[in-house]
Structure 1
Amino acid sequence: MGGRGREGLWYPGARVFAGPNFFREELRVGTAASDNPEPASGERATVQKSERAIGHLTPMMRQYLEVKGQHPDAVLMFRLGDFYEMFFEDALKASELLQITLTSRSKGDERIPMCGVPFHAVKGYVAKLVAAGLKVALCDQVEEPGKGNQIVRREVTRVVTPGMLVDDDLLDARANNFLCAVAFGAEGGGLGLLDASTGEFFAAELGSDAALFEEIARTGARELLVPQGFASSERAAALSRACPESIVNPYADEAFEAARAEAYLNAHFATRGLDGFGLGGLPKAIAAAGAALRYLKETQRSEASHVDRISLHDVAGAMVLDEATRGNLEILRTLRDGKRKGSLLGLLDRSVTAMGGRRLARWLSYPLLDLEEIGRRLDAVGELCERAVLREELSALLREIADLERLTARLSLGQGNARDLRALASSLLRLPEVAAKLDSCGAALLRGLAAPLGGLTELAALLDRAVALEPPATLKEGGLVREGYDPELDRLVEIATRGKDFLLKLEADERARTGIGSLKVRYNRVFGY
């Protein structure tokens, strides 16, 4: 297969050296010539070496290497038929972590290590790779195979990282999955906190590194983005030590430029300024937020329309709880085994929806200091305690409501299906009933929740009419549209599924129309029907 050295792998038959910088430096084929018509002598030699290295490979392997060159720091899962295949160093890593068989492409000196997983089970394998701290790039076929030997066009459709999980199978339903971008200042800096799976988006600015790192640790962010120029600095190392369970990834320095980030955020939110979000005069917070949003759009290949607002992360409005205090009080996790069960959250959380569980966890992590707001919450809790019938009725309604935050996020990112639409329809149909119950409450906090829940009746009715009651899990199986929604579609479906009955009816109708009793509908290879 080849030899392994400190610098990488050499595959003699393929004449490809897959070292740590191979895909960054060697695979500039097709880009170096166009981007720089007259490269320097060293760059010209690199391009020529690359062309010699991959020029004799099959078109499919050349396509793989070109895509890999765009994502050198990710494990590339390359869709081939019913499998996602991995090659070279990615195959060696994946086969060890996933405990799957390592095989090879070609034989003898031409052998290239490879391994693969079935496409229908890819989510579980991606979860294991991400849990190991790796990025995973999913490269899919973006066109149907044609006739002949023309290679199918493939593109990376999304990049999965610890902070960019949106599939329910990969997430804890009752915990946020935050990405945190960090923009360093002379001292302290800004943070941009984004949960891609729910669309929640916050930004803050703190005056010291100690306060900044402590706040980032409190958020429990799974992935931290730092500017490329700071990736090897002592401050980045200190951040990593303060957040040992988070993966620290470098990101392009220009994404953290305050002016560029502000323009990017304004373009996304269709605003002329960020003062209305409370971010006026906070350049480092804006810089971090802009980097976080850009990272989401780049990795998910989406406009991220579910991220429709950003809020100031008001650190001053909550009680200061350092890491030692949070741990000793076992607010979210126990000291012994780090589990939710046995913690304060595990004891208190009787919420019937995942959204409620996440909100309660956030409230416990950030105890209020504002007496008026504390009073509003206590009034709401008190009323629900006293009105047992109302409490049970609300609980029964809420049990029928899906996780709307994560459901709409998947649909917005283009990763949802018809079952998500049906769940959305069923949930929205229940909201007016929830609103009516809340509107009857005396507590201002509960009553104030009623009005926003009543404006989606038209969307709920449309989805209920249009989406099948029990749609399939994938979008390619058909059966997504509810019978009766579109008469012409119903007619075509009937022809496709009950063709014999359709032909008998057509024959009877034509006999009646023409008066020819012996008329028959038949088929031959020349004329068809």
Structure 2
Amino acid sequence: MAQYTPMIQQYLKIKAQHKDAFLFFRLGDFYEMFFQDALSASQELEITLTSRDGGGEERIPMCGVPYHSAENYIKQLIEKGHKVAICEQVEDPKAAKGVVRREVVQLITPGTVMEGSMLDEEENNYLASVSDFEDGTFTVSYNDLTTGENSIAMLSEGFNAVLSELFNRPVKEVVVDHSFDKDKQQLFKDRLGLTVSFCDETVITEDFSYLVKDIHNDKCTKGFGRLLNYIQHTQKRSLDHLRPVKLIELKKYMTLDMYSKKNLELIETMRKQGKKGSLLSVMDRTMTAMGARLLKKWLERPLLAFDEITTRHEQVEGLLEQFFERETLREQLKSVYDLERLAGRVAYGNVNARDLIQLKLSLTAVPELLDILGQFENRSIHALYKAIDPLTELKELLETSLLHDPPIQISEGGMIQDGYHPKLDEYRDASKNGKQWIAELEAKERNETGIRSLKIGYNRVFGYYIEVTKPNIPHLPEGRYERKQTLTNAERYITPELKEKETLILEAQEKSVELEYELFIKIREKVKQFVGELQILAEQISRIDVLQGFAQLADENDYTRPELNNQRSVDVKQGRHPVVEQVMDRGSFVPNDIFMDESNDILLITGPNMSGKSTYMRQLALTSIMAQMGSFVPCEQASLPVFDQIFTRIGAADDLVSGQSTFMVEMLEANHALTHATENSLILLDEIGRGTSTYDGMALAQAIVEHIHENIRAKTLFSTHYHELTTLDEELIRLKNIHVKAEEYEGSVIFLHQIQEGAADESYGIHVAKLADLPEPLIDRASSLLKELENTRVEEASSEQLSLFVEEEKPKAKTSKLESRLKDLDLMQMTPMDAMNELYQMQKQVKQKS
């Protein structure tokens, strides 16, 4: 390094400690980047790449961004999964002896963003940590630095459960130790798009022991310790807003694996991967950002406890019953800013005066909010607000201390009210009177000199001055002024009296700004003492917001309160798909009933493609999720069990990342359901087996249906295009056939989207092709081929029937090994995957003989 200049040597030493981050190196008014950082950043940010002499043989690549607009550039890098180390000058350049001392004051990573412009206000920004243990268990820890929320879950179902858990939340970055399996790290990146970071330290210091006071599991403590140490290492500032860790007891919530969340499009759509068109977009009637975030959490984790679900239903009903009060409540919630993130910014130390004004306005709205809630007659509503503390003391502090419209920068002054601090009032008075004195002096000098254009001005270099244009200089009384500066068209002068007053005015202004900054920091520290109460208040208002949103949703869309039962019975009258009905003309969606009592576990659904089988299946799952969130549901009447898990296999898509075919993905998802489902689960399987040959697929589909019927007994909706399976209702007593009705009219098919009992008569495949506007000659050829195939089948069936009447002596065949092997198979005890493998081996054996 000796070949480089001292400043470049300093850069390289700091960069060596932050190899995985872009180093924003402060040089005056710019953040500069050098070497490889400059080459990469110039491409990522599309900024000009230059170079400079650094003392070596070759010029050093360099690029930079202005410090005052750096936030936008940092945001671009963070959104692409990069990290940014902010390196500031930590001493006054005027006082520096040699190179100005610089230090990294913050490491910004995708999971530790605090700046509001880089965040989605309606979504948490989680940093996660995964720790694995020798017994096969994992811990997954979460932190949202913007709100101070901490939580941890323990999983013992393998690494796929970890992937599903991380998929469950908006995680941007995951922290592991350096020994964590490399293949698993790659899955974090490929499957979930996460930035992977490292921290080996797991010890929690005494200062932060309060965070794990309620955690009595060493694995959980160690797992959270890794996350906490990473946060401390990257943030280098106060973390007083961090809240005690909550243990996520997964058994309290409905399990929704990664496949089900994708297939059901709960949070985002599969095609565009955006919120619009998802269940979340339909359900979101919240009025605050923190309410929107809580709604998403409830959607991610529907409840299992009857009492908790029922309480939410009662509160929604209470809010639904009084329209005018609810509308007033919604309007009042608009006045409440994001208390959760404001509290985080206060504790973090990056809150400004405008943020505190938002906090004041929010607290001002709380008493009226409580008055409105008091007008609801339903007793369950009273429980929502009785424990709310309006934080009157904090509101009064902010009302008496801060001006209503302060500047963004806290170093400019103009934040503190008159009367808040006597010394500040003195400075302001001196400044104000001094300026008045300047105005009076200007008028006096004009009068005494007779020069109407004479004026008193000010600049930072010369201070206050008297300016006289050159034509008027002869009119000045001799010895009255002292020359200060000569301009092209004027001269500038000063007087001893003016300089004396200037000192008083400028000193008052400077000291006023300094004192305002000191006072603001003290106010911020006082507000910091209320952070815990603010976080509690934010939770309470968020809950109220989500529940009123449920009531609003029910009112707008004619939803009804679901009834919960313990009989494993599903009875939905005139059920609708909550998302699909929103995109259709009002009233055009065809509702359907669904009934499954204790004597019926499986509905085998047949009917043509495009007729609505998948919609029918999905709407039961979405209705159940909504009910267990605490929402009302889209139907005329509903009685539902509490499902512990929902498994779906709907739609076919290759997993290109891991190189798995459609059929393999289909089998893996089916296997996941068959392995983990219980009799209290809901399984949705859509046309299983279509990814392989007809007979393979049919055999697998039947084996899966039989396995669910005999061994799991979960409530199951199984759609199929294998009409041969409809005879299963003769063998499986808890299976029932239903179909989607369609009718032919003048050579075209009309889909009625109505579910009826029994099996479908036809598949209508060619009619669907016609609807898709396939070429007419192609359609004609397909119709011709279909008739030929149907005639062939009839002839084959006739010859088989005739052969029954022909008596023919046949020698008794010797039982082959293949037949013996087939007889010995216990299909009811085999998984679908085992059955498929066995079938493959038999086929291989037959091919070898032939």
**For the superposition of Structure 1 and Structure 2, which TM-score range results when normalised by the shorter chain?**
0.7 to 0.9
How far residue 345 of structure 1 moved from its aligned partner, in angstroms, is: 0.6
Moved more, 212-221 or 439-448: 439-448
Indicate conservation of the 8 Å contact 1:162/1:222, yes or no: yes
1:139 aligns with one of 87, 92, 98: 87
1:8-407 matches, cutoff 5 A: 53=1, 55-106=2-53, 109-146=57-94, 150-186=98-134, 187-209=136-158, 210-230=160-180, 232-241=181-190, 243-251=191-199, 253-255=200-202, 260-261=203-204, 264=205, 267-268=207-208, 270=210, 274=213, 277=214, 279-280=215-216, 282-407=217-342
Q: Is 2:469 the counterpart of 1:522? A: no
Shift of 1:495: 3.2
Query: Which of the residues 343, 348, 364 maps onto 1:413?
Result: 348
Match of 2:251, SS state, is: coil
Distance 2:148 2:19 in 1: 28
Q: Which residue of 2 aligns with 1:477?
A: 412
Aligned to 1:3: none
- Three-state SS of the structure 1 residue aligned to 2:37 is helix
Q: CA deviation at 1:270?
A: 3.7
Change (3 A) 1:446 1:87: farther
* 1:436 matched to 2:379: no
- In structure 2, distance between residues paired with 1:386 and 1:158: 51
* 2:238/2:349 contact within 8 Å kept: no
Q: How far 1:65 moved relative to its partner?
A: 2.1
Distance 1:488 1:524, change over 3 A: closer
Partner of 2:394: 459
Specify whether residues 314 and 105 from structure 1 end up closer, same or farther in structure 2 by C-alpha distance, changes over 3 A only.
same
Gaps of 5+ in 2: 442-494, 505-850
SS of 1:254's partner is coil
How far apart are 1:294 and its partner, in Å?
2.2
Letter in 1 for 2:46: Q
- Deviation at residue 178 of structure 1 after TM alignment: 0.6
The answer to whether the 8 Å contact 1:440/1:447 transfers is no
Query: CA contact under 8 A between 1:434 and 1:450: conserved in structure 2?
Result: no
Aligned counterparts of 1:290 and 1:162: Cα–Cα separation in 2: 19
In the alignment, which residue of structure 1 is the partner of 2:836? Answer: none
Q: Tell me the CA shift for residue 220 of structure 1.
A: 3.0
The alpha-carbon distance between structure 1 residues 363 and 179, as it changes in their structure 2 partners (threshold 3 A), is: same
The answer for the alignment partner of 1:34 in structure 2 is: none
Deviations 1:228-273 (A, max 9, x none): 121x5344344445x422222222x232xxxx24xx3x632547x6
Q: Does 1:500 align with 2:435?
A: yes
**Partners in 2 of 1:145 and 1:410 — Cα distance?**
30
Classify 1:361/1:444 alpha carbon distance in 2 versus 1 (closer, same or farther; 3 Å).
farther
**Which stretch shifts more, 383-392 or 212-221?**
212-221
Q: Which amino acid aligns with 1:161?
A: T
2:407 counterpart SS class: coil
CA-based RMSD: 2.7
Q: CA separation of 1:391/1:62 partners in 2, compared to 1, >3 Å: closer, same or farther?
A: same
- Does the CA-based 8 Å contact 1:188-1:212 persist in structure 2? no
Q: How far 1:440 moved relative to its partner?
A: 4.6
SS at match of 2:240: coil
SS in 2 for 1:115: strand
> Structure 1: where are the runs of 5+ without partners?
1-52, 507-519
**Cα 1:521–1:382 shift into 2, 3 Å:** farther
Residue 522 of structure 1 aligns with an amino acid whose one-letter code is: E
The aligned counterpart of 2:558 is none
Give the total of aligned pairs: 448
Deviation at 1:87, TM superposition (A): 0.9
SS at match of 2:168: helix
The percent of aligned pairs where both chains have the same amino acid is: 37
